[in-house]
Amino acid sequence: MEIVYFEPLSRAVKRTRAALFTPFALNKWLVVGFNAFLAGLTDWSHGSGGSRGRDSMSFGEVLDFPRRAWAWLTSHPEGFVAMGIIAVVVLILGTVLLWLSSRGTFMFLDNVVRDKAEVAAPWRQYARSGDSLFLWRLVFSLIAFGLFAAFGVAFFATGAGIYGRTRFSPLPILWIALMAALFLLLIIVAGYITLFLKDFVAPLMYKNGVAATQGWSLFLALFDRHPLAFIGYGLFVFVLLIAFVIVVIMAGLVTCCIGWFLLVIPYIGTVVTLPFWHALRAFSLEFLAQFGPEYALFPPAAVTDQGSAGG
């Protein structure tokens, strides 16, 4: 079995063109864009401002930061309480967004598969699937947070001792390289798990009406037979995202930054860029369909129509 990438992407683009532009309907864009916005609620990261005050900090000062931060918090009880309140609020807000995103994943998926613009019907129909996905993502998020927290503790705890003994020897450089490699490995593994969950496990849950754990069982059985194909898929999607970012940057420059202002507005930005997200969602389904009819989600009649139109 030959697994390809550009052919399913081409079919996905054709589906997107047919769904969103033939004919163009603003109401459909707004509804499908809303579902895409819900599905991507937890996919966005926000940058932080630049450094202020001192131009730089020594590596030793960076490693000593947790001790100094803890000393400041213990000497300022009001700050400690404020941080605790903020942490609880962030946790609650993150949990709500994760739940909405899990529900939205199936709403957007259903819109793309059936070429519909509906909110209420898929919200009710796939409530159990969305809740199952939410619980799996919640547990995974807690585990991932624990692993990254353990990495941070190990980094600062071992780093402070090593840096204090051998400040300018090659040992700290080797240690930094090892820590960087481990951190990168954690990010790659977490990224692939998140990608596979959204692009393949959720569609298998949708198709077979199963819970998240069963969806993973179905996917892992397939992954075990074609691991390189799915690893390549992740790299291919990464390249597509880079290309998308470049296009967004160019569009912002051409429109004198007006386009950027639209993109940073929640929901509006998703509607404006809906063709990309629709095509990306369809691409994952077209890629999955290559492994056999039991993995195909699009209705056979729709595939036949697309094929005859393309011929």
Q: Which of 26-35, 122-131, 244-253 has the lowest mean pLDDT?
A: 244-253
- Per-residue pLDDT tens digits for 45-62: 443 444 444 444 555 555
In a domain, 98, yes or no: yes
In a domain, 303, yes or no: yes
Q: In one letter, which amino acid is 73? A: L
Q: Which of 17-26, 149-158, 266-275 has the lowest mean pLDDT?
A: 149-158
Q: At what angle do helices 77-114 and 274-289 cross, to 10 degrees?
A: 70
What pLDDT is attached to residue 256? 79
pTM of the full predicted structure?
Answer: 0.83
What pLDDT is attached to residue 305? 42
In a domain, 51, yes or no: no
User: CA-to-CA distance for 263 and 10, rounded, in angstroms?
Assistant: 25
User: CA-to-CA distance for 71 and 75, rounded, in angstroms?
Assistant: 6
Give the residue ranges of DSSP H helices in 115-211. Answer: 120-125, 127-165, 170-196, 202-208
Range among 48-62, 63-77, 163-177, 246-260 rated most confident: 246-260
Burial readout 136-159 (b: 16 or more C-beta within 10 A, e: otherwise): bbeeebeebeeeeeeeeeebbeeb
- How many domains is the chain built from? 1
What pLDDT is attached to residue 220? 97
In a domain, 288, yes or no: yes
pLDDT band per the 50, 70, 90 thresholds, residue 255: confident
In a domain, 75, yes or no: yes
User: CA-to-CA distance for 126 and 104, rounded, in angstroms?
Assistant: 10
What pLDDT is attached to residue 176? 79
Residue 288: is its pLDDT beyond 70? Answer: yes
**CA R_g for the chain:** 23
In a domain, 287, yes or no: yes
CA dihedral 43, 191, 103, 275 (to 10 degrees): 60
User: CA-to-CA distance for 133 and 193, rounded, in angstroms?
Assistant: 13
For residue 306, give the 3-state DSSP assignment: helix
Q: Quote the domain boundaries for residue 83.
A: 6-44+57-310
In a domain, 50, yes or no: no
- Per-residue pLDDT tens digits for 63-95: 556 666 666 666 777 776 888 899 899 999 999
In a domain, 228, yes or no: yes
